[in-house]
């Protein structure tokens, strides 16, 4: 199948999805999943993460296929943009969740820049338990 025929087939299938045509979504998936998975692998080294992004993209296609405008972009351009944006959203969300420390640990760490070592005991300035407030220094 040549490129123009493929593009027309995908655009037509995208046009039928808002009416709830599952066969149209299957057609879009069959014709685009390999390329979209490859674009997701650019952002993710993990196959699981790339596949999760791909699944989220097709859920978005199911919900927002009516937003596709063939006069503004080709179907693959629109789908790759969805995949790229979904990957960026997931990357940002994973960074935020990794950087979440308890507030108490962060406030102590900022005093002298140990980056959370109080929690792990790796801070050279961490005080032994006997020096913690509320405990006896002789304990």
pLDDT, greater one: 91 or 26: 26
Q: Is the pLDDT of residue 97 over 50?
A: yes
pLDDT of residue 44: 72
pLDDT of residue 131: 45
The full set of domain ranges for the chain reads 3-98
Task: Return d(Cα 7, Cα 41) in angstroms, integer.
Answer: 23
What's the CATH architecture for 3-98?
Orthogonal Bundle (1.10)
The answer to whether the beta carbons of residues 130 and 139 sit under 8 Å apart is yes
For 26-85, the pLDDT digits (tens) are 999 999 999 999 888 887 778 888 899 999 999 999 999 999 999 999 999 999 999 999
Q: Is the pLDDT of residue 128 over 90?
A: no
Residues 12-21, mean pLDDT to the nearest whole number: 96
Q: What band does 99 get if pLDDT is binned at 50, 70 and 90? A: low
Please give the structure tokens belonging to residue 91: 């990357």
The answer to whether the beta carbons of residues 24 and 17 sit under 8 Å apart is yes
Residue 71 CA: distances (Å) to CA of 11, 67, 74, 75, 77: 11, 12, 8, 10, 12
pLDDT, greater one: 110 or 115: 115
The answer to whether the beta carbons of residues 54 and 44 sit under 8 Å apart is no
Q: Mean pLDDT of all residues in the chain?
A: 79
């Amino acid at each position: 199948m040549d490129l123009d025929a493929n593009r027309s087939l995908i655009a037509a299938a995208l046009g039928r999805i808002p009416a709830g045509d599952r066969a149209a979504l299957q057609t879009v998936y069959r014709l685009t999943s390999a390329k979209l998975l490859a674009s997701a692998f650019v952002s993710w080294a993990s196959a699981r993460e790339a596949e999760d992004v791909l699944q989220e993209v097709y859920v978005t296609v199911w919900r927002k296929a009516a937003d596709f405008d063939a006069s503004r972009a080709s179907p693959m351009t629109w789908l790759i943009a969805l995949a790229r944006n979904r990957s960026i959203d997931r990357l940002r969300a994973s960074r935020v969740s990794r950087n979440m420390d308890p507030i108490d640990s962060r406030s102590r760490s900022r005093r002298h820049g140990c980056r959370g070592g109080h929690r792990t005991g790796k801070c050279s300035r961490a005080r032994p338990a006997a020096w913690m407030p509320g405990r006896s220094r002789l304990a």
